[in-house]
Amino acid sequence: MDLGVKGRTAIICAASKGLGRACAEALAAEGVNLVLNARSLGPLEAAAAEIAHTHNVTVKSVAGDIGNAAVREALLAACPTPDILVNNAGGPSPGKLKNFTAEDWTKALDGNLRAPAAMLAAVLDGMAARGFGRVVNITSSVVRHPIDIQGLSAAARAGLHGLVSTLVREHVGRNVTINNILPGPFATDRLVSNFTFRAKQEGLSPEQALAARQAELPAKRFGDPVEVGSLCAYLCSAHAGYISGQSILIDGGAHPQLL
């Protein structure tokens, strides 16, 4: 299926690896030119070069913390008229409420709420004026299905979901959509670091904790980041103009719910 976005431009935040990188790959495979962001310059530039080479698209990179306003300005300067925005950031620290520091709160709110909010504010009117816009926010299944050590993540992301729910109707008549992807457990470095935390708590090795979790999952496997990339590309496609304000759980059936 041709997604109808060849030649369009996308900003993808937090995209040198993991789920953001998978979104970048999937959009590049459709001929979308990219501006990618991540904090570490080396891996970011390597990812940009690989994607450009593989998919024959233009890929620029802007290094820095997406929670920092100057980095967001640099991203928007590198891509002043994006057709597509994928909001993503590293996940907040796991832990217990009483142990979260002021710095933990600032980092979570800056990266997972204020940054996507600021990017939305910067791009929506221009997308509407141009008659095409697709925004996808990578959030987490934790918004629907709480995980007790992910309170910071749930708090910041629920805030973003609430904000998005107030924005959806403003520009959908101008072909601008905003949707959230809520990943369950996907095989990325983030997942491994979360299981390292859980393993310590349970007196297991990280490998034992990962194997135990996979065995519990209905799909008997973690998700492949490519699966998030494909969903993201479809939501950003020309065909998805009538899908907006949706929060799509992608978790291999891990979280029981009434359909």
Q: Which residues sit at the interface with ligand NAP, rule CB under 6 A?
A: 14-20, 37-40, 43, 65-67, 88-91, 111, 138, 140-141, 183, 185-186, 188-191
Give the C-alpha separation, 53 to 113, whole Å: 33
Separation CA 137–CA 4 (nearest Å): 21
Residue 34 tokens read as 């990219």
State which residue, 172 or 228, has the beta carbon closest to ligand NAP. 228
Smallest separation (angstroms) from ligand NAP to the CB of 257: 16
Q: Is residue 46 within 8 Å of 250, Cβ to Cβ?
A: no
User: Using CA atoms, how far apart are residues 32 and 84, in angstroms rounded to an integer?
Assistant: 9
Cα dist from 224 to 111, 135, 221, whole Å = 24, 22, 9
DSSP 39: S
When the beta carbons of 82 and 185 are compared against ligand NAP, the nearer one is: 185
Q: What is the signed CA dihedral for 237, 239, 242, 247, rounded to 10 degrees?
A: -50
Cβ contact 133:123 at 8 Å: yes
- CA distance linking residue 123 with residue 126, whole number of Å: 6
Give min distance, CB of 42 to ligand NAP, in A: 9
Least Å from the CB of residue 79 to ligand NAP: 15
Q: Which two tokens stand for residue 129?
A: 């004026």
- Those residues with Cβ within 8 angstroms of residue 32's Cβ, 6 or more apart along the chain or in another chain: 5, 6, 7, 8, 9, 10, 57, 83, 84, 236
Task: Provide the minimum distance between the beta carbon of 242 and ligand NAP in the complex, in angstroms, as a whole number.
Answer: 26
Write the single-letter amino acid at 203.
G
Nearest to ligand NAP of 176, 199 (CB atom): 199
- By beta-carbon proximity to ligand NAP, the closer residue of 66 and 240 is 66
Query: 176 vs 194, which CB is nearer to ligand NAP?
Result: 194
* Nearer of residues 14 and 233 to ligand NAP, judged by Cβ: 14
Which residues have CB under 8 Å from 50's CB, separation 6+? none
- Nearer Cβ to ligand NAP (9/16): 16
Q: How far is the CB of 67 from ligand NAP (least distance, A)?
A: 5
CB of 93 to ligand NAP, least distance (A): 10
Q: How far is the CB of 155 from ligand NAP (least distance, A)?
A: 13
